[in-house]
A and B are shown apart, each in its own frame.
Chain A
């Protein structure tokens, strides 16, 4: 069966630095894969190669058998939910949490059309799922790190994606919220066979969620295997997880 995501010899660089070099990877439909590695390994860049946010210097990316190019990237991105790492937001920014969530749907709605009943129902479901009803009307810039993460997850899910990319989603989360997010990810994966990629440098979370884990270092994959291979390598490298 054709992989859902295929990368063939993909290289990406920023300002004359090569971040990922000739990386090839196949990800099956419905697979939940973890991406582990130290800072600067190229984990976020790999996600951005898949959703077209990073400019590929050479190589090819295929989603469901179709090549992603500069000209058709938007078409694929509508079906790829992306939860970014935390970034700086001005707390005075005039945008509410609910608006940030709805923005995730705008690409799918398209130009000259507006959010309607379907979007309202989707929003209500996601608000319930992620327990964010109390923060919807708050200015987004004034939410805590964990609240922002949940809003970004809701935003990505508004797209009704077939692929989900989580970039360090568990950073800034307390243990209760982490457990909730783990339950949400596992529930989504079970109910809709969502192809899911999770970047994390927390081995305990990755091994709990993912059946396949790749370990990246300096832009290359140094290990690609199941959870037990990963745990063996972790113990060999660090003694414990």
Chain B
């Protein structure tokens, strides 16, 4: 219990709380719409942006957000109406962003430790500024979800049908992509570029196994994400393991357990 008295651990717990809320909510959209690959491409774009910022001596958060925004601007139209098959074009964007990330990593002028921190995450060294950013991001995601709950629900169910009933489906799809980029950018420093997407996907995918009620899915996804963060932190502290990796492994175990005990486990895939 001495751990709770340590300021850096308190900050890490707070960071996990807000990252869990953000990733848990955004993950529901990614999982239901089955756009994980787009989300991975966006998260790697954010990572490439962060490394570009290190090369140019600029704000990591700003550049990661700008790069993820650019990825959304490319992937959104490709997903809607590309001449090339969507999977192929997303794969091209993904490999491009990954290539850029490693290019910038090679160009970083000083030691690689900052870059490696962005790769693996450094939740134990988050600052109060980082926590404020995470809190603001979760507040923004919650606000947009509350304000546009029904439109988002219709769009994640089926974009074409949402459009057919007069909803601006493309607008809300881009909002979802944008919020994915914002969520990834804000959690990059704490969870790391390689692992952040697991925190978005795993808790939501686990919640998907549990419930048919979308409001409950949001709640369960957030609880699973926060639990993964906190449990991962404790495991990392007691076993002296990397915190980011521990968090992701806990979230993977949560998903595995959800699949095993899922009330939907006997339902066949798409009929």
Give A contacts to B, CB under 8 Å. 15, 51-53, 55, 74-75, 77-80, 82, 84, 87-96, 99-100, 102-109, 111-112, 114-115, 139, 141-142, 155-156, 159
Q: Which residues of A contact B151 (CB under 8 A)?
A: 106, 111
Q: List 21 A-B contacts (CB under 8 A).
A: A15-B83, A53-B163, A77-B164, A78-B166, A82-B164, A82-B165, A84-B164, A87-B158, A88-B270, A88-B271, A92-B208, A92-B212, A95-B157, A96-B213, A102-B150, A104-B165, A106-B162, A109-B150, A111-B147, A112-B147, A155-B161
Closest chain B CB from A29 CB (angstroms): 20
Q: B169: nearest residue on chain A (CB-CB)?
A: A74
Contact A53 B160 (CB under 8 A): yes
Q: A102: nearest residue on chain B (CB-CB)?
A: B150
Contact B271 A91 (CB under 8 A): yes
- Chain B, interface size category, equals 20 to 34
Q: A15: nearest residue on chain B (CB-CB)?
A: B83
A15 to B211, CA, bound (A): 39
Contact A91 B270 (CB under 8 A): yes
Besides A96-B212, A100-B157, 13 other A-B contacts (C-beta < 8 A): A52-B163, A55-B81, A77-B165, A82-B164, A84-B164, A89-B271, A91-B269, A91-B271, A94-B216, A103-B153, A105-B165, A106-B166, A107-B165
A53 to B159, CA, bound (A): 11
Closest chain B CB from A223 CB (angstroms): 28
Contact B167 A114 (CB under 8 A): no
Contact B270 A94 (CB under 8 A): no
Contact B161 A84 (CB under 8 A): yes
Contact A106 B212 (CB under 8 A): no
Q: Which residues of B contact A91 (CB under 8 A)?
A: 267-271
Q: B268: nearest residue on chain A (CB-CB)?
A: A91
Contact A90 B166 (CB under 8 A): no
Contact A106 B213 (CB under 8 A): no
Contact A107 B166 (CB under 8 A): yes
A15 to B164, CA, bound (A): 22
Q: Is B217 an interface residue (CB 8 A)?
A: yes
A142 to B269, CA, bound (A): 11
Q: Is B92 an interface residue (CB 8 A)?
A: no
Closest chain A CB from B72 CB (angstroms): 20
A189 to B267, CA, bound (A): 40
A34 to B209, CA, bound (A): 43
A139 to B267, CA, bound (A): 12
Q: Is B168 an interface residue (CB 8 A)?
A: yes
A166 to B211, CA, bound (A): 32
Q: Is B107 an interface residue (CB 8 A)?
A: no
Closest chain A CB from B64 CB (angstroms): 29
A216 to B151, CA, bound (A): 36
Contact A94 B214 (CB under 8 A): yes
With A88-B270, A90-B269, A91-B268 in contact, is A107–B167 under 8 Å at CB?
Answer: yes
Q: Is B148 an interface residue (CB 8 A)?
A: yes
Partner of B150, one of A75, A77, A114: A114
A111 to B270, CA, bound (A): 32
Closest chain B CB from A177 CB (angstroms): 18
A109 to B81, CA, bound (A): 28
A84 to B270, CA, bound (A): 18
With A93-B32, A94-B212, A95-B214 in contact, is A74–B150 under 8 Å at CB?
Answer: no
Q: Is B154 an interface residue (CB 8 A)?
A: yes
Q: Which residues of A contact B150 (CB under 8 A)?
A: 102-103, 106, 109, 114-115
A107 to B166, CA, bound (A): 5
Q: Which of A88, A92, A102 is most buried by chain B, counting CB atoms within 10 A of its CB? A: A92
Contact A78 B165 (CB under 8 A): yes
A139 to B216, CA, bound (A): 14
Q: Is B132 an interface residue (CB 8 A)?
A: no
Q: Which residues of A contact B153 (CB under 8 A)?
A: 95, 99, 103
Contact B268 A106 (CB under 8 A): no
> A-B pairs with the 7 shortest C-beta distances?
A107-B166, A78-B166, A82-B164, A107-B165, A103-B154, A77-B166, A139-B212
Contact A95 B161 (CB under 8 A): no
With A95-B214, A103-B150, A111-B147 in contact, is A155–B270 under 8 Å at CB?
Answer: no
A82 to B153, CA, bound (A): 18
